[in-house]
Chain A
Amino acid sequence: MSNRVVITGLGVVSPNGVGIPAFRTAIQQGVSGIRFEEQLAALNFSCQIAGKPEVSQEILTAYFNELELKQLTSSGIIYGIIAGLEAWQDAGLSIGDENGDPDWDSGTIFGTGTSGVEKFRESVYKVDEGQVRRLGSSVVPQTMASGVSAYLAGKLGLGNQVTTNSSACTTGAESLLLAYERIKNGQAVRMLAGATSDSSPYIWGGFDALKVCTYKFNATPEKGSRPLSASASGIVPGSGAGALLLESLEAALERGANIYAEVLGGNINAGGQRNGGTMTAPNSKAVQHCITAALANAGVNGADIDLVNGHLTATGKDAEEVMNWSKALGVEGERFPYLNALKSMTGHCLSASGSIELVASALQIKEGFIFPNINCEDLHPEVTALVDPQRIPRTLLHKSINLLAKASFGFGDVNACVILKKYLQS
């Protein structure tokens, strides 16, 4: 049994837009979600700018009941629930009766890097003060890695697989491919794929200490995240969540659902921390292998890809990524596909990045546009050596996209590449 799989719902909580309408406008207009963070400055961070979604009280009260608002302090779970429920509703699905049976055909693979770091911090203080009895009931569900998928499953009444994957910055792309395989293999009819990442100095601190964050743009935050640029000087840490409702084509057609794109295939691999790959750096051979295997899995040629949505984090590694794309796709110069980097507007949303970028990818395919790259007016010479600058648009382009390749890479030397295709609906 092999089902075709399509995307029928999207949800997003991004630093530059919460909810699909706001996010679409932001990415089309090249709006940055990077802001100066008082808290990071007070804590002596080198990088004092970040991408933090602005979730209004109105949205919170629309998605959460009084008890949840009282107890939820885990930003990643809050973002994941908002994005997940938006995707579910965007797909035209209703939320089942609280007293009815679970929906055996629907599940979720909703990833995260860590869960509830703020909640965990509160708990650590209480435990150390001998106040373990004052932790209450909400510590476990918010600090268990699978907290986000567990909360979503409860709200939606999911009865199929409910789990959380974790593979650093590959998490979001991986969640989509795991969900895709489950539907393709006939083990589920629909799966909510997504990933989230907390907004917190306790998440970002480790990256600041690793010296991978830029410290040069504290006074000009919107200029800070500069993928593909010669003046790129490190990531801007971000946060948020993205969610995509995946469904068998058969089920989607049966209920007349709006189809954003077809998931044609993909690949997940690792570089084994060999051949230049390390805990923090990718093995280029493995990256190329991942992309070529994804193309083969989807049954398409590299030269037929219209748009590449890169991982492109705004570090010195961007040129190497472009070289890997060029080799794997077998194209360069004017023949290189259009290329864009969402992180120029959102910063690096870490474990959520792949999902937020896949939401942007699906929107571009469905609506026929290519969002602009910002902060790359000074393209890196090693990038322009391989890609015609016209292929890296800095203004919004309205263009039909048939095939899109999206890749994410993560610490641990792990990779995932997804191939999406336009689905023509009458």
Chain B
Amino acid sequence: METSVFIEQIREIVKPYAKNTEALANLNTSTDFINDLKINSANLVDVVLDVEEKYDIVIQNEEMEKMLNVQAALDIVTAKLKEK
């Protein structure tokens, strides 16, 4: 998947959870969900569920633990889509 396409899609997904609108507007591969977007850590599980739904994939617990920024999310989604 094109990185720019993924960035737009992930921006839509995290929008309701992100408290820092500036970081949301400047979303890039190095954006950290908790530190930059100020997403409540409890809501990370909701972000993962929304990502699963969007791409019709299942993300395992170990992968979920690593999915803390946009690049990690992109890597996991790309790998899962290749498996399909």
List residues of A whose CB falls within 8 A of some B CB: 66-67, 70-71, 134, 136-138
Contacts and interface: CB of A to CB of B under 8 A. Distances in A.
Contact of A134 (B40, B43, B49): B49
Q: Is the interface of B mostly helix, strand, loop or mixed?
A: helix
17 contacts: A66-B15, A66-B16, A67-B16, A67-B17, A67-B43, A70-B16, A71-B46, A134-B49, A136-B45, A136-B46, A136-B49, A137-B40, A137-B42, A137-B43, A137-B45, A137-B46, A138-B46
Interface residues of B, number: 9
A137 B17 CA distance: 12
A66 B49 CA distance: 17
A138 B40 CA distance: 12
Contacts of B16: 66-67, 70
B42 to A, nearest CB: 4
Contacts of B40: 137
A267 to B, nearest CB: 41
B7 to A, nearest CB: 20
A273 to B, nearest CB: 41
B3 to A, nearest CB: 26
A136 B45 CA distance: 6
Interface in B32-69: 40, 42-43, 45-46, 49
Given A134-B49, A136-B45, A138-B46, 11 more contacts: A66-B16, A67-B16, A67-B17, A67-B43, A70-B16, A71-B46, A136-B49, A137-B40, A137-B43, A137-B45, A137-B46
A137 B47 CA distance: 10
Interface of B: 15-17, 40, 42-43, 45-46, 49
A278 B45 CA distance: 46
Contacts of A137: 40, 42-43, 45-46
B49 to A, nearest CB: 6
A71 B49 CA distance: 13
A71 B16 CA distance: 10
Contacts of A136: 45-46, 49
Contacts of B46: 71, 136-138
A67 B24 CA distance: 15
Nearest to B44: A137
A179 to B, nearest CB: 29
A138 B43 CA distance: 8
B69 to A, nearest CB: 19
Nearest to B15: A66
Nearest to B64: A133
B19 to A, nearest CB: 9
A297 B40 CA distance: 47
Nearest to B40: A137
A100 B32 CA distance: 25
Contacts of A71: 46
A136 B16 CA distance: 14
Contacts of B49: 134, 136
A66 B15 CA distance: 9
Contacts of B15: 66
A138 B42 CA distance: 9
A136 B40 CA distance: 13
Closest 8 CB pairs of A and B: A67-B16, A137-B42, A66-B16, A136-B46, A137-B45, A137-B46, A70-B16, A136-B49
A366 B42 CA distance: 44
A66 B16 CA distance: 6
A44 B5 CA distance: 50
Nearest to A65: B16
B55 to A, nearest CB: 15
Contacts of B45: 136-137
A142 to B, nearest CB: 13
Nearest to B42: A137
Nearest to A138: B46
Contacts of B43: 67, 137
A129 to B, nearest CB: 14
Nearest to B60: A133
A138 B47 CA distance: 12
A134 B40 CA distance: 18
B15 to A, nearest CB: 7
A66 B46 CA distance: 14
A137 B44 CA distance: 8
